[in-house]
Amino acid sequence: MPLVTFIDFVDGNIPSGENILENFHSSFSPPNALSIINGYLDKDNLNFPNRSVTYPYLQKQSVSGGKMIAGTCNLDYFTHQNASEAQAISGIYEGKTNLESAPKNAYTAIPGASIQFYLPFKAYVLLTWQVCWTNDSDDDDKESHIRLFVDGEREGEADTKDNFCNVRRVRRTMFAADPGGSNFQNKKYLRDRYKSRYWSGHQWLPLPGKVPLAKGFHSASLRVIQSKDVKQTRIRARSMKVMFFKAKDD
């Protein structure tokens, strides 16, 4: 690094803007400016055969970052026949007959599987999650669904494989010990192999054909909904993780 010498300022004289600028950045050879101390690269540096910038030279979280949330307790969700969609955000929600076409307000966000995160730049985002759940359904048509939402919207366009990849369901779990015996309805119970469904999922954002997520705050959540005649859904949310990678500037 060359020796840094500054343009002298004489007491009582007002320096010009050009002189002040040269003390911070100078194109003269050799350059005499503070840019030398701050990592100035001269032509010898620029002509070096290998100029790749690898991870030891990057500041922490300058091009990537991450965050996660987790839970450990059981979460029970009950259908309230007289509830409205507007109450879903408070944990009270009504079941739906057709879960595939249910409006987004009919879903309830799951603690431990819902996260808000800040992107310091436009970025690609990878979400990963682990959750397991069961219910007390005694019929094949009575289901409990969990679906991914990003920024408050279903992630995936309707009628595409991406939409169906981001939802899972639990169907019937209650089976009779003795279907041919008397008092059939009173002999239902949870069989071990039907107790829970596990979903270890991931989603790369944006979806094909869309732009990376913009700088700012975003949210991702798994949300639950169940059929009207399902009395209870029990969920164990293990984690929701976010990893982001800086996208190319426009």
pLDDT of 73-125, one tens digit each?
Answer: 889 888 876 655 555 555 566 778 888 778 888 888 999 999 999 999 999 99
Give the pair of three-digit tokens for residue 218: 């975003």
Beta bridge partners of 156: none
Considering the domain architecture, whether residues 122 and 31 belong to the same structural domain is answered as no
Looking at the fold, whether 85 and 203 belong to one and the same domain comes out as yes
In whole angstroms, how far apart are CA 54 and each of 43, 57, 59? 20, 6, 11
pTM: 0.71
* 59 assigned to some structural domain: no
Contact between 179 and 78 under an 8 Å Cβ cutoff? The reply is no
* Residues 35/25, Cβ–Cβ less than 8 Å: yes
For 151-163, how does the pLDDT look when each residue is reduced to its tens digit (9 = 90+)?
A: 988 876 555 555 5
At residue 248, what are phi and psi to the nearest 5 degrees?
-65, 140
- Residue 66 pLDDT: 95
CATH of the domain at 180: 2.60.120
Domain region containing 213 = 65-246
Whether residue 32 is contained in a domain is answered as: yes
Q: pLDDT tens digits, residue range 32-81? A: 666 666 666 666 666 666 667 777 778 888 899 999 999 888 898 888 76
Q: Based on the domain organization, do 70 and 46 belong to the same domain?
A: no
| pLDDT above 90 (res 240) | yes
Q: How far apart (Å, rounded) are the C-alpha atoms in residues 79 and 93?
A: 6
The pLDDT of residue 47 is 65
For residue 103, the number of C-alpha atoms closer than 13 Å in the C-beta half-sphere is 8
How many structural domains compose the chain? 2
Q: pLDDT digits over 177-204, tens only?
A: 666 666 555 556 666 555 688 999 999 9
